[in-house]
């Protein structure tokens, strides 16, 4: 069992916000709730400015966020300098490979264990975001080899799904390095909070989520315009990508026209909310969308899938997202479509709206599966035991 005399586990990040759902709400809070001393080194910014106190109960060393993609390449210098001020670190938890590289430099003299958390297929995102800088294939290969190298020097690796773990450990040099799959599952309280909400009957409400092109917002808008012709009471919930975003900003950023004002009527563009407010918001919806394009969605297993399941609503997700489709098929909690085709997405919405009993069964199946085997607490338990062993004996 952890004690107050133990050294801290330091969350060491180069880019994640202080209110990040996985890094703060799940990992850091789970560690703190288990009795560990938790510290935080990272950039001082938040996804949602209304989220209240910064890192409540966690001692932190923050530095300014770097601007732009190229600025990210040098952020590790700021992280390293901030890390030098932490004098009681016993374990580093790093949610990015570049953060782990900086942590290695800090940890080398004291042999402090570094736990690397792999959130995504980094060389896949690099191809789409930085592909214009150098040849796409070269960029992808270099980044994949670099992440594999970082993983091989870590004391342990955890990854958001098996596909991401395999991409950086298979054919790599991990050897005896412990590896864990820790999916982005909601905590058990999420389902309980969602269960207290009654779904309004006046409209067919769909949850899209944050308004970003990488999350399929343009496809969602085009699909909503089509579906609205067949679902008169359609409402699509989106969260602003910035505090001042307006509907005109959203349409302009996605290059979607709305000459008849259909989207201005259908889209419910809201301010961002905290994770604690999310269960009730999702539970008010009749359907949940995951519309990542192929570049991001091919191997994704997002937190939102399991939030939809916990809230008991059916899911519409991409056919090319193998990890998501595996869950949908096993649990029977929704349907998959070509999420890069607005017409296919619109047809799926019509199917859900037209077959309410089947949609209700999908939602019930998802909720039941979540309660039985998809909670964060059971998924993260092996990592808690590993951290406890390290803090008792760093040589293990």
Q: Which two tokens stand for residue 296?
A: 């991001």
8-185+375-392: CATH, from 3.40.190.10, 3.40.50.2000, 3.10.580.10, 3.40.50.300? 3.40.50.2000
| Contact call for residues 86 and 39 (beta carbons, < 8 A) | yes
Q: pLDDT-based confidence at 28, cuts 50/70/90?
A: very high
What is the reported pLDDT for 131?
Answer: 45
Residue 48 has pLDDT above 70, yes or no: yes
Residue 118 has pLDDT above 90, yes or no: yes
Q: Which two tokens stand for residue 146?
A: 């670099």
| Contact call for residues 156 and 382 (beta carbons, < 8 A) | no
Closest listed residue to residue 327, CA positions, set 117, 199, 184: 184
What sign does the CA torsion over 364, 351, 298, 300 have? negative
The residues pairing with 39 across neighbouring beta strands, listed in sequence order, are 10, 59
d(CA 40, CA 229): 50
Residue 3 has pLDDT above 70, yes or no: no
pTM: 0.81
Q: Which residues contact 106 (CB under 8 A, 6 or more apart)?
A: 80, 83, 84, 89, 92, 112
d(CA 166, CA 100): 19
Question: Can 8-185+375-392 and 188-373 be said to share one CATH topology?
Answer: yes
Compare 5 and 109 and report the one with higher pLDDT. 109
pLDDT digits (tens, 9 = 90+) for 270-280: 998 888 899 99
What is the reported pLDDT for 124?
Answer: 67
Q: Could you give phi then psi for residue 189, rounded to 5 degrees? A: -65, -20
Domain residue extents for the chain: 8-185+375-392, 188-373
Q: pLDDT-based confidence at 331, cuts 50/70/90?
A: very high
| Contact call for residues 30 and 384 (beta carbons, < 8 A) | yes
d(CA 157, CA 82): 23
**Alpha carbon 361 to its chain's center:** 26
| Contact call for residues 38 and 11 (beta carbons, < 8 A) | yes
Q: Which two tokens stand for residue 314?
A: 């059916």
Residue 149 CB-half CA count within 13 A: 9
Q: pLDDT-based confidence at 96, cuts 50/70/90?
A: very high
What is the reported pLDDT for 130?
Answer: 43
What is the reported pLDDT for 174?
Answer: 57
- In the chain, the N- to C-terminal Cα span, in Å, equals 16
Residue 287 has pLDDT above 70, yes or no: yes
pLDDT digits (tens, 9 = 90+) for 301-325: 889 999 999 999 999 999 999 999 9
| Contact call for residues 202 and 232 (beta carbons, < 8 A) | no
Q: pLDDT-based confidence at 115, cuts 50/70/90?
A: very high
Fold observed for domain 188-373: Rossmann fold (3.40.50)
Q: Tell me the H-state helices in the chain.
A: 29-33, 68-72, 75-83, 97-107, 122-129, 136-153, 162-169, 188-195, 217-227, 247-254, 262-266, 278-283, 294-297, 303-311, 322-331, 342-354, 356-373, 376-392
pLDDT digits (tens, 9 = 90+) for 242-286: 878 888 988 998 889 888 899 999 999 999 888 889 999 999 999
| Contact call for residues 14 and 117 (beta carbons, < 8 A) | no
Residue 227 has pLDDT above 60, yes or no: yes
Calculate mean pLDDT across residues 230-245: 91
């Amino acid at each position: 069992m952890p004690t107050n005399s133990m050294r801290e586990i330091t969350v060491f990040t180069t880019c994640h916000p202080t209110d990040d759902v996985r890094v703060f709400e799940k990992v850091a809070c789970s560690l703190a709730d288990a009795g560990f001393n938790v510290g935080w080194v990272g950039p001082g910014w938040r996804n949602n400015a209304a989220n209240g106190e910064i890192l409540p109960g966690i001692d932190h060393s923050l530095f300014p966020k770097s601007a732009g993609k190229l600025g990210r390449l040098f952020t590790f210098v700021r992280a390293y300098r901030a890390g030098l001020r932490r004098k009681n670190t016993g374990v580093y938890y790093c949610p990015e490979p570049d953060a782990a590289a900086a942590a290695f430099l800090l940890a080398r003299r004291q042999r402090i264990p570094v736990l690397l958390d792999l959130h995504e297929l980094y060389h896949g995102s690099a191809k789409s975001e930085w592909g214009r800088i150098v040849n796409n294939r070269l960029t992808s290969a270099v980044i994949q080899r670099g992440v594999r190298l970082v993983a091989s020097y870590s004391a342990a690796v955890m990854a958001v799904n098996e596909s991401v773990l395999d991409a950086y450990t298979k054919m790599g040099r991990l050897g005896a390095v412990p590896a864990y799959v820790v999916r982005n599952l909601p905590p058990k309280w999420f389902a309980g909070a969602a269960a207290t909400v009654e779904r309004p009957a006046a409209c067919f409400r769909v949850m899209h989520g944050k308004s970003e092109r990488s999350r399929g917002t343009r496809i969602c808008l085009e699909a909503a315009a089509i579906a609205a012709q067949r679902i008169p009471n359609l409402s699509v919930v989106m969260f602003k990508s910035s505090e001042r975003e307006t509907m005109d900003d959203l349409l302009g950023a996605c290059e979607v026209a709305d000459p008849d004002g259909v989207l201005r009527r259908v889209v419910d563009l809201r301010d961002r909310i905290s994770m604690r407010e999310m269960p009730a918001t999702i539970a008010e919806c009749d359907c949940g969308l995951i519309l990542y394009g192929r570049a991001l969605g091919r191997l994704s297993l997002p937190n939102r899938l399991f939030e939809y399941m916990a809230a008991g609503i059916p899911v519409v997700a991409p056919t090319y997202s193998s990890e998501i489709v595996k869950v949908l098929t096993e649990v029977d909690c929704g349907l998959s479509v070509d999420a890069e085709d607005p017409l296919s997405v619109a047809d799926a919405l019509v199917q859900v709206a037209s077959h309410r009993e089947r949609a209700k069964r999908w939602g019930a199946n998802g909720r039941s599966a979540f309660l039985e085997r998809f909670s964060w607490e059971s998924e993260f338990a092996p990592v808690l035991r590993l951290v406890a062993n390290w803090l008792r004996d760093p040589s293990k």
